[in-house]
Structure 1
Amino acid sequence: MSDVAAGLLQVLALFVALGFAWKYLGDYMARVYDTPKHSRVERILYRAVGVDPAADQRWPVYLRSVLAFSAVSVLGLYLLQRVQGSLPLSLGFPGVPPDLAFNTAASFVSNTNWQNYSGESTMGHLTQMAGLAVQNFVSAAVGMAVAVALIRGFVRKGTDRLGNFWVDLFRGSFRILLPLAVVSTLVLVAAGAVQNLASPHEVTTLAGGSQTITGGPVASQEAIKELGTNGGGFYNANSAHPFENPNAFSNWFEIFLLLLIPVALTRTFGRLIGQRRQGLAILGAMTTIFVGLLAVVWTFEAHFAGAMEGKEVRFGVPGSALFATATTGTSTGAVNAFHDSFSAIGGGALMLNMLLGEVAPGGVGSGLYGILVMAILAVFVAGLMVGRTPEFLGKKIQGREIKLVSLYILATPIAVLVGAGLAMSFSSTRDSMLNSGPHGFSEVLYAFASGGNNNGSCFCGLTGNTPFYNTALGLAMLVGRFLPIVFVLALAGSLARQQPVPVTEGTLPTHRTLFVGLLVGVVLVVTGLTYFPVLSLGPLAEGL
């Protein structure tokens, strides 16, 4: 079978599996977030942390809960890394240096999982399990909670109450992510991924040298890193490492996992608002962008098929292109090939995939609320063209809503462009680039695009473990994650206060193909106007 045929078969199997899971998982998640019932375990946890699950929070309270939980998480993970050397299962590794510990704490709490370290030589088992893996669960659950809060903003009327963050957090963690992670771990172990608590041991290589091999709870962390669109690898080589990603089946399964929840959330959205066609329209826009960018990446990588440096021969061009497009489109950051080795246009397409806001289909929760914000903007643009007050899902889009949408759209470019500009301003930071010229600039731009959009993948040609990059990228990750959440929850509160308006002949149908095309166009135009100048200095200049 040719590479093209094998690649097309992978894509077809992926779409069939996602289509099957879309309905059942989407409906299940809708029931999880909509039911008034609490399990016995959840009630015990609520009492333990002093939470009243019946309390319906106003949007400022919901926001403060998100920020407080995340701030405590950053501090706790930072301290765990700093004292790692004095803890059990440290494998003899010392405490992580302060700037790297800050970067890693900001990275995992913001669902970015950018890694300026080699996991197998830096993090002990306890830090991996009690610190990084836990954040893989809860940071993903935070994203889903914010998305559900925005959905409630469309559904509710005459109030600015959006539910209870703690209830949403616990349900996302224990009812959705944990069961899926357990099943996925078993599948990965069966496929050959490593799962143990072994100490490092020395082996003799074929060349006669010695090498230290570190085992660990790899499969369990691999499962939640993909399910939660986290991306942090147990090993430096990430999902190119055979302990994490042993064969072609595990490669396909990991792609399925990282797309699973973002895709299914569109069904959840349709169910919760009572209009399933709206969920299909959102999914249609996501799929259009995903397929278009996959075609670009695959075409250019196939054209330069001889350039296999940095790519896994086990997976070839189709497996590498599909994984790379999926990981940059879902804020995952896991990689099975070094994106630095991709062609100029192929690597530029991956960068563009992140700069779109990762809405195709985006991160767990963040992809859904990101594309809903863009849908509001698309409705506003359509309203301007026909001279009517724009409406979306029965809510008027007025001055306050558009201001919040505008601030949301500006938040991430500030983190990306300011950070990249500062990095290129000093000779000491430019020394971290492996290459000069447009490709070197692409390495820096990709790093801040990845950090600011909470992706976590890297070009892997940039030396990021320096005080400047650890600090600057850590700040970019926090700004790129939590500033948009502020505007999303404020927008949800503003929408929830409104009374729904009736559908009339002048209402724009937002469930049809025309609106899907408009939404895709708005996403592309807004991104192009924002980032085309810097893309022209990097991947476009190199490609031309």
Structure 2
Amino acid sequence: MTVYGWGLIVVFALVLTALALPLGRYMAAVYTGQRTFMDPLLARPEHLLYRVIGVRVDRGQDWKRYATSLIAFSLVGWLLLYFILRTQTLWSFTGLNPMGYHSMPWNVAFNTVSSFLTNTNWQYYGGETTMSYFSQMAGLAVQNFVSAAVGISVAVALIRGIVTHVATSERDSAKAHSIGNFWQDLVRTVLYVLLPISLIIALILLSQGVIENFSRYLSFTGITHIAQTLAMGPVASQEAIKLLGTNGGGFFNTNSAHPFENSNGLTNFVEMLAVLLIPAALVFTYGRMTGNRRQGYAIYATMMLMFLGAAAVCYIAEAHGSPAQHVAGLHTAVRAGTTGGNMEGKEQRFGIAGSALFNVVTTVTSCGAVNSALESFTGIGGAVPFANLSASEVIFGGVGTGLYSILLYVLLAVFLGGLMVGRTPEYIGKKVEAREIKLVALGILITPLSALFSTALATATRAGRASIDTAIAHGPQAFSETLYAYLSQANNNGSAFAGYSGFVQPVAGNVGSHGITFADLLGGFTMLFARYAPILFALAVAGTLVNKRVSPAGLGTMRTDNPTFVVLLIGVIVLVGALTFFPALLLGPIVQGLTGHLY
């Protein structure tokens, strides 16, 4: 461990907070209809878009109409992206398929479309060897924007459900049940939040050498006198929204370890900030929309404490080195010119601290971008991303998904706290009763159940076991790869422990063709179910809370904006995660860390 390493973690947390505070204030203005400095530039395009899609945004929607609009929009997006990927060769006339790539097989297309639609960006393909520029830009990048916007819209709708105060005279009107308008939230999120910030990030990346072009791939002969190909493409623009929207899908197969996606230490720092910027800012947006900023500060403190704890454990574990290194007698201490520790699978450009922090940043969110090989981390260091995913996106989480996920945990903590003090649980003046807590429990349990069920199916079936590359991994490593794959997909994260691939069954009479791929299909269904089921439960919670009567706080009301509640909330998150995933983690990364078993 080095002073630089610890300094990087501390400075990152401080800069993130400094940027998230003003952005949170700006986003609160966007979603409450206040005037912003972007209005002169974007107001007209905004209203034009409303006319094009034919909606009246002055009409609010109850949670069922909001959910219907969201599902319909997502279904159309799924079909359109599937069409683009399956007809990739037809778009060569645009000049955006210079390498002449063929259309994607149906099973890989199903998984890929489901992946990008759900903000997961899990990839069973190499971007530079599979995707045309048109598919990357008109297909994947568009979904990077709108899938992120969908998550933010749901979070804003839940906030409205919690904070809206409806007068008794209006309790039977349509206004009493409105949690906003999905189309307005979607459009304003893309125009006022994602596009401007993406442009700034793209320009920063361009200035540091991240490429942006439409050239054919370059061919050259290296110092080994072997012919090689250097992939090109419009990378900087795709990289910006990949990170800002916590999408994570790499333009290149090696993702943010590729110098054309992440060129140096500065871009590494900027990319990590981009991933956490909106999830952190949304917490402050929540505080402003509730009219009590301390509510946002309490949630932010919860997230930051758990984030810093994960970063510290991961950094210490990697700096200490692996048991195998120690058994082999290798020196892992810091020496002149080296950071020591476990550098296996890491980039020299980023070092242990830059790799460990990036790993934590992208696994506490739904990003999944990587700048190092997760399967090369030590057993304890590799257990950190498992633990982060086990928290089900409440440590900042994805854009929008992190906030509405932790708000469900907040309601659960309020309910448990109310039971402990013998009072009806209340949150911001609204009672949390049986109907709300049932919906909250279902919303919280859907993601871990999806991950565990898919893992069990993959390890208990012949086709599932064939998806594991046993030539590379076996024992606890193989189980870790399988568990992590479905944990990642269920949490809409997208990172992988590597070694896990689709099971390809050749079709009779057509050797080598793509048949039914177990991992493609199971992973695709897992991503879709684990994305939209929690969304529906979160919107249902908003629908039940929106027209509840507000009761004034009394002497026995439990405060939810102080350190005591922060401790209670962390305890509930850890308890639910531990009870759900600890037995599975014992079979994989923990036993691997204790025994030193690598593969």
Contact 1:100 1:465 in 2 (8 A): no
2:21 partner letter: K
C-alpha distance after superposition, 1:395-420 (max 9, x if no partner): 11100000001111121122101110
Contact 2:122 2:493 in 1 (8 A): yes
Aligned counterpart, 1:25: 23
Does residue 75 in structure 1 map to residue 73 in structure 2? no
Alignment map for 1:217-296 (pairs within 5 Å): 217-296=234-313
Aligned counterpart, 2:14: 16
Query: TM-score, normalised to structure 1's length?
Result: 0.98
Residue of structure 2 aligned with 1:109, choices 113, 117, 128 = 117
Does residue 469 in structure 1 map to residue 519 in structure 2? yes
Instruction: Provide the aligned length of Structure 1 versus Structure 2.
Output: 542
Does residue 315 in structure 1 map to residue 387 in structure 2? no
Contact 2:392 2:448 in 1 (8 A): no
Alignment map for 1:354-369 (pairs within 5 Å): 354-369=389-404
Local SS of the residue matching 2:552: coil
Once residues 69 and 459 of structure 2 are traced to their aligned partners in structure 1, the CA distance between those partners, rounded to angstroms, is: 37
Which structure has the greater CA radius of gyration? 2
Once residues 406 and 18 of structure 1 are traced to their aligned partners in structure 2, the CA distance between those partners, rounded to angstroms, is: 31
Aligned counterpart, 1:192: 209
Local SS of the residue matching 1:497: coil
Query: TM-score, normalised to structure 2's length?
Result: 0.89
Once residues 67 and 492 of structure 1 are traced to their aligned partners in structure 2, the CA distance between those partners, rounded to angstroms, is: 17
C-alpha change, 1:465 and 1:191, in structure 2 (3 Å) is: farther
Alignment map for 1:91-490 (pairs within 5 Å): 91-156=99-164, 157=166, 158=171, 159-304=176-321, 305-431=340-466, 432-433=468-469, 434-464=472-502, 466=504, 467-490=517-540
Once residues 7 and 253 of structure 1 are traced to their aligned partners in structure 2, the CA distance between those partners, rounded to angstroms, is: 16
Does residue 543 in structure 1 map to residue 593 in structure 2? yes
Contact 2:28 2:289 in 1 (8 A): yes
C-alpha change, 1:465 and 1:21, in structure 2 (3 Å) is: farther
1:327 partner letter: T
2:592 partner letter: E
Residue of structure 1 aligned with 2:2, choices 1, 4, 27 = 4
Local SS of the residue matching 1:112: coil
Once residues 2 and 394 of structure 2 are traced to their aligned partners in structure 1, the CA distance between those partners, rounded to angstroms, is: 27
Once residues 97 and 273 of structure 1 are traced to their aligned partners in structure 2, the CA distance between those partners, rounded to angstroms, is: 48
Contact 2:342 2:352 in 1 (8 A): no
2:267 partner letter: S
2:261 partner letter: E
1:303 partner letter: H
Contact 1:117 1:465 in 2 (8 A): no
Contact 1:345 1:543 in 2 (8 A): yes
Structure 1 position 331, deviation (Å): 0.9
Structure 1 position 345, deviation (Å): 1.5
Local SS of the residue matching 2:273: helix
2:12 partner letter: L
Once residues 83 and 90 of structure 2 are traced to their aligned partners in structure 1, the CA distance between those partners, rounded to angstroms, is: 12
C-alpha distance after superposition, 1:30-57 (max 9, x if no partner): 0111116781111111111111111100
Structure 1 position 203, deviation (Å): 1.6
Contact 1:281 1:516 in 2 (8 A): yes
Structure 1 position 450, deviation (Å): 0.3
Contact 2:86 2:109 in 1 (8 A): yes
Once residues 500 and 338 of structure 1 are traced to their aligned partners in structure 2, the CA distance between those partners, rounded to angstroms, is: 50
Q: After TM superposition, which residue ranges in structure 1, 4 or more long, deviate above 3 angstroms?
A: none
Contact 1:332 1:363 in 2 (8 A): yes
Which runs of 5 or more residues in structure 2 are unaligned? Answer: 322-339, 505-516, 595-599
Contact 2:464 2:503 in 1 (8 A): no
Does residue 87 in structure 1 map to residue 81 in structure 2? no
Aligned counterpart, 1:511: 561
Identical aligned pairs, as a percentage? 49
Contact 1:191 1:246 in 2 (8 A): yes
C-alpha change, 1:72 and 1:257, in structure 2 (3 Å) is: same
Once residues 76 and 10 of structure 1 are traced to their aligned partners in structure 2, the CA distance between those partners, rounded to angstroms, is: 42
Structure 1 position 71, deviation (Å): 1.1
C-alpha distance after superposition, 1:187-240 (max 9, x if no partner): 000011111111112121221111221211101111111100000000000000
Contact 2:488 2:495 in 1 (8 A): yes
Structure 1 position 428, deviation (Å): 3.7
2:498 partner letter: C
Structure 1 position 306, deviation (Å): 4.6
Once residues 310 and 61 of structure 1 are traced to their aligned partners in structure 2, the CA distance between those partners, rounded to angstroms, is: 48
Once residues 429 and 238 of structure 2 are traced to their aligned partners in structure 1, the CA distance between those partners, rounded to angstroms, is: 42
Superposition RMSD on alpha carbons, in Å?
Answer: 1.2
Contact 2:255 2:370 in 1 (8 A): yes
Aligned counterpart, 2:513: none
Once residues 535 and 222 of structure 2 are traced to their aligned partners in structure 1, the CA distance between those partners, rounded to angstroms, is: 49
Once residues 358 and 270 of structure 1 are traced to their aligned partners in structure 2, the CA distance between those partners, rounded to angstroms, is: 19
Structure 1 position 504, deviation (Å): 0.4
Structure 1 position 533, deviation (Å): 1.1
Once residues 306 and 408 of structure 1 are traced to their aligned partners in structure 2, the CA distance between those partners, rounded to angstroms, is: 40
Once residues 215 and 345 of structure 2 are traced to their aligned partners in structure 1, the CA distance between those partners, rounded to angstroms, is: 29
Once residues 138 and 223 of structure 1 are traced to their aligned partners in structure 2, the CA distance between those partners, rounded to angstroms, is: 14
Does residue 527 in structure 1 map to residue 585 in structure 2? no
